[in-house]
Structure 1
Amino acid sequence: MENKLISGTQLSKILLENLKEKINNITNNRLPKIVIVQVGDNLASNKYIKHKLKSCEKIGMLSEHLKLDQNITQEELLEEIHKLNNDNKVDGVIVQLPLPNHIDTQVINETIDVNKDADGFSPSTLGKVMLNTSKIFPATPFGILKLLEWKNVELMGANVVIIGRSNIVGKPLANMLINKSATVTICNTKTKDLANVAKKADILICAAGVAKLITKDFVNKDMTVIDVGANFVDGKYCGDVDFDQVIDQVKLITPVPGGVGPMTIACLLENVYNLYLEKNK
């Protein structure tokens, strides 16, 4: 079983060690800095932010957690973002999602300075990702690509099926894979005959947000499966793939936890470092 696993925990440690070494070698300038903006007290967000701050500390990157009241107005939040945009000592800004319902997430993402867009969610960044001219990438798709390349999974000419069409995973990932000369099909949970469409793939990436959606009927023995799901069922954390049912039926698979999740944080911090380099050319 071990030789089938694609360990994001293992690769993220390698990436973070590389970043740590690069940051340790900065001698004639200030260190890179990220600011994480949180609105309210979402428990899942608290957990994710804790992991991000811990990773920053490990690699020597400066970090700040700006926690704002749940009832802050959109205008007040935009004012905070403008302050960060104008702060020359800040290299990366992320606004932790989800935001309260009275705040328009798209407006917030569009307001973050593209030169500080650590999450890679701004329309300008996403446009550059599509055109293959971007220096940074949405962190989860970036992490998925790194996992595939680390395991020497051939992308050129590969038949890739992505289940999930979100602006932060499915759509940017499709463009990034197309730019690697893969043949990409984007599906969703309403796709007709979904299992048969998925079963023909060389690489199946599931980011549908539906626990254990992917069963043995969706896979084949030569397939690489990337599980982006982060679901809680009966208090237990699980992905979109029914792991126990699928693992013996595929070539390679990411576990949940320990697969895509750790890579998202490592790639987010790599984005911040690259934004820092661009600013200090």
Structure 2
Amino acid sequence: MAEILKGKPVAEFLESEIMKEVSNLKEKNIYPKLGIIGINVNEESRAYSDNIEKVFGKLGIKVEKKFYDESISLEELKEIFINLKNDDSIHGILLLRPLPEYFEKQKVYKFLPSRKDIEGLTYENCGRLFYGEKSFVPCTPLAVLELLDFYNIPIEGKHVVIVGRSISVGRPLSLLFLNRNATVTICHSKTKDLALLTRQADILVSAVGKANFIDENMVNENAIVIDVGTNIIDGKIVGDVNFENVKKKVKAITPVPGGIGIITIRTLAKNLLRAVKNEVEI
């Protein structure tokens, strides 16, 4: 039976670190603050922003939310980004996704001020990550590494197979693993004989958004399985991995819910504190 890699102890460890840092900042009259921008926000994104506000409140971090309808123009949105860039009270910006189709096609996140882009979506941050330099990185890939490090699971020299190539998870995560000297294989919807590749993984990460997509025939007995997927089936949250079947075979596995998801808002907070240091002389 696999070791269950629960996210709660990781989240609690990160919270203790974050609260100490926030307390130190407040002693210097620096009050970390996140600006959340949403356009035509759906129910899921609104719930996510509410959860961020709740967790950040617990951590002592302020949140300012601004939602706009789809009628906002690209020029108006650019102006909002410029105002946030020049607002010294806002240290980081989170642009909620998915965006309306027009704004996705325009890749509006490239207009965010890179020093406040705490999800690492601007071309500058993506480029820095590519070159192995310090950059902001999306919070979900960071959460994966935080979990592996917390449980002392080695990365260097391991074969990591990532199923999914999104800009917010698969692609940045592959670069993070490369920067930690792993050998990385990225799989996607056009990959042939997917199971042949996933069975070779020392660490298998699934981020495809398909419920129970990874089954016991796609893993080996020594695999560490990280499930990043979040899917709703019959009103219940499930991951990409068939948890009950796969946990009987592999070495370790994350649950959904209770795995990576609970860590992500904490890594977002860590990114915000990095942004504070970028903006303020401490």
When the two structures are superposed, what TM-score results if normalisation uses the length of structure 1?
0.95
| CA spacing shift, 1:222–1:158, aligned 2, 3 Å | same
SS of 2:162's partner is: strand
Contact 1:74–1:102 (CA<8 Å) still a contact in 2? no
Note the C-alpha offset of 1:135: 4.2
| CA spacing shift, 1:106–1:24, aligned 2, 3 Å | farther
Contact 1:224–1:253 (CA<8 Å) still a contact in 2? yes
User: How many angstroms apart in 2 are the aligned matches of 1:172 and 1:94?
Assistant: 17
SS of 1:137's partner is: coil
Note the C-alpha offset of 1:36: 0.6
Note the C-alpha offset of 1:75: 2.4
Whether 1:13 aligns to 2:8 is: no
Quick one: which amino acid aligns to residue 191 of structure 1? T
Percent identity reads 36
Structure 2 counterparts to residues 124-163 of structure 1, below 5 A: 124-163=124-163
RMSD over aligned Cα atoms: 1.4
User: How many angstroms apart in 2 are the aligned matches of 1:93 and 1:174?
Assistant: 24
User: How many angstroms apart in 2 are the aligned matches of 1:160 and 1:74?
Assistant: 39
| CA spacing shift, 1:277–1:140, aligned 2, 3 Å | same
The answer for the alignment partner of 1:174 in structure 2 is: 174
Quick one: which amino acid aligns to residue 128 of structure 2? K
Quick one: which amino acid aligns to residue 13 of structure 2? I
Quick one: which amino acid aligns to residue 279 of structure 1? E
Contact 1:41–1:70 (CA<8 Å) still a contact in 2? no
Note the C-alpha offset of 1:107: 3.0
User: How many angstroms apart in 2 are the aligned matches of 1:161 and 1:196?
Assistant: 11
SS of 1:94's partner is: strand
**Between Structure 1 and Structure 2, how many residues are aligned?**
280
The answer for the alignment partner of 1:257 in structure 2 is: 257
Quick one: which amino acid aligns to residue 113 of structure 1? P
Deviations, residues 34-53 of structure 1 (Å, cap 9, x unaligned): 00111123111111111110
Structure 2 counterparts to residues 45-56 of structure 1, below 5 A: 45-56=45-56
Structure 2 counterparts to residues 105-116 of structure 1, below 5 A: 107-116=107-116
Contact 1:99–1:105 (CA<8 Å) still a contact in 2? no
Deviations, residues 56-111 of structure 1 (Å, cap 9, x unaligned): 10011111111212332222222212211111111100110011123236532111
Structure 2 counterparts to residues 197-276 of structure 1, below 5 A: 197-276=197-276
| CA spacing shift, 1:105–1:268, aligned 2, 3 Å | farther
Note the C-alpha offset of 1:234: 2.2
User: How many angstroms apart in 1 are the aligned matches of 2:144 and 2:106?
Assistant: 24
Structure 2 counterparts to residues 3-42 of structure 1, below 5 A: 4-26=3-25, 27-42=27-42
| CA spacing shift, 1:104–1:78, aligned 2, 3 Å | farther
Quick one: which amino acid aligns to residue 36 of structure 2? I
User: How many angstroms apart in 1 are the aligned matches of 2:105 and 2:80?
Assistant: 15
User: How many angstroms apart in 2 are the aligned matches of 1:191 and 1:116?
Assistant: 36
SS of 2:107's partner is: helix
Contact 1:73–1:103 (CA<8 Å) still a contact in 2? no
Deviations, residues 11-33 of structure 1 (Å, cap 9, x unaligned): 11210221111111221232111
When the two structures are superposed, what TM-score results if normalisation uses the length of structure 2?
0.95
Quick one: which amino acid aligns to residue 40 of structure 1? N
Quick one: which amino acid aligns to residue 90 of structure 2? V
SS of 1:248's partner is: coil
The answer for the alignment partner of 1:64 in structure 2 is: 64
The answer for the alignment partner of 1:122 in structure 2 is: 122
Q: Which runs of 5+ in 1 are unaligned?
A: none
Quick one: which amino acid aligns to residue 214 of structure 2? I
Contact 2:120–2:135 (CA<8 Å) still a contact in 1? no
Note the C-alpha offset of 1:183: 0.4
User: How many angstroms apart in 1 are the aligned matches of 2:58 and 2:280?
Assistant: 23
